[in-house]
Amino acid sequence: MCHSIASTGPIQLQFLHPEALGTSTAGRRVYVTTMHKKEVDATLNPRVVALKLSKTMALTDLASSMRERGVDVVGLAAGEPDFDTPSQILDAGMEALRTGKTHYTPNAGTHALRQAICNKLEQENGLEYTPSQVVVSNGAKQSIWQAVLAVCSENDEVLIPAPFWVSYPEMAKLAGAKPVIVDCPAQDDFLLTPAALKASLTPASRLLILCSPSNPTGSVYSRKDLEAIAEIVADHPRLMVLSDEIYEHIIYAPAEHHSFAALPGMYDRTLTVNGFSKAFAMTGWRLGYLAAPHHVAKAAAAIQSQSTSGASSIAQHAGVAALQLGPKGGQPVQHMREAFQQRRDFVVKQLQQIPGVTLVEPKGAFYCLPVMASFFGPSASADGFGAIPDADALCRYLLEVGQVATVPGDAFGAPDCIRISYAASMADLEKAMERLSTALRKVIPN
């Protein structure tokens, strides 16, 4: 009788003497197989291999592990409000649970939420969309990624003003596009200038990403700034604009928010992304949205249908309640905004008192990006720590010695800076600023 034997490699037959196998095999020729196993192919998609890990998450995780060991670390690395989700939103989420709203929703989002988003965009941003132009996703990050993937083809160029949010370049790479980093220095308030935009444009330019208020700088584009950019965009038919407006409601007077799509001639060129995480303190609910021309919204919805499908039914029900709190988030968001402004004023004042720190005052969001180049370089060091050649080493020093978690600026395309999040209590900020000042005074400057 013959038996087939599955193998991952060549099979060799080897004769064994019957006596070696016992009396039951006497008189018979016995063969056994020796299999040579091949190595499993462990290669990965080159686009995935090229991805950079988020330093924001890495520093946050390291600070958390230090706390678990009993170290009193003040975390100023994460981009997350320290407030709880407003009670009205919590009540809506619990109502969804109690009343059976726990099933799949339409892929692009419930009609109720998409209509509420359309109402918000019309009343607060002067933008008219229909629900079919809105795609609700599992956070604004997914909304951005799907928008980039929908409009960018292989070797298209994505213009990204630096400093930038860490995920923009990586999303462009995943889509097969080429991220083109446009330097926006501190002397320009970290804002894209018309001259810098013009110098970066090529026939391959497909998408310009703008974030206002900005993560990581807190800078805010004025209407005049945006109009100058729109004038250049209008001259380039292939160029579209992704307007990341997730920090829209965290803005400090006299600065004002302006939606790029509301500028003359920009509606059909703009992909507007917003969400609920920052303004409504709903980071864990994972809810964001894209509002775009019909063909882009349809494409983004198709991507979503073959990846995650729709966002949480519970989160969507809560999202409707969030948009019913009142203009610009109503009283709950105003309370958080006022607290953030008080914290900003404190952190800015403390940083400005430290010799060697250069700071552009943030006008929105809850970050500041001080220029710290005088504290690191070839000759910079600190006793008991050693050399501090770059911003990465400076952040490690501040964490290990000062017990304050920050993020090196090179993660945001700003290697001379560090990012500080003031989304923390005043008590923690007071402790952190004192530790930061003390630690920096011990640095032998570059």
* pLDDT of 11 higher than 70: no
* pLDDT of 30 higher than 60: no
- pLDDT reported for residue 35: 60
Q: Which two tokens stand for residue 408?
A: 């090196």
Identify whether the C-beta of residue 120 lies closer than 8 Å to the C-beta of residue 328. Answer: no
- pLDDT reported for residue 29: 55
- pLDDT reported for residue 279: 97
* pLDDT of 2 higher than 50: no
Phi, psi dihedral angles at 264 (to 5 degrees): -55, 125
Q: Which two tokens stand for residue 302?
A: 């198709």
Q: Which two tokens stand for residue 325?
A: 């709190």
Phi, psi dihedral angles at 82 (to 5 degrees): -90, 5
Condensed to tens digits (0 to 9), the pLDDT of residues 211-223 reads 999 999 999 999 9
Condensed to tens digits (0 to 9), the pLDDT of residues 102-150 reads 999 999 999 999 999 999 999 999 999 999 999 999 999 999 999 999 9
Cβ neighbors of 426 (< 8 A, separation 6 or more) are 342, 343, 346
CA-wise closest residue to 52 among 154, 162, 142, 173:
173
3-class SS of residue 374 = helix
* pLDDT of 24 higher than 90: no
* pLDDT of 5 higher than 90: no
pTM: 0.89
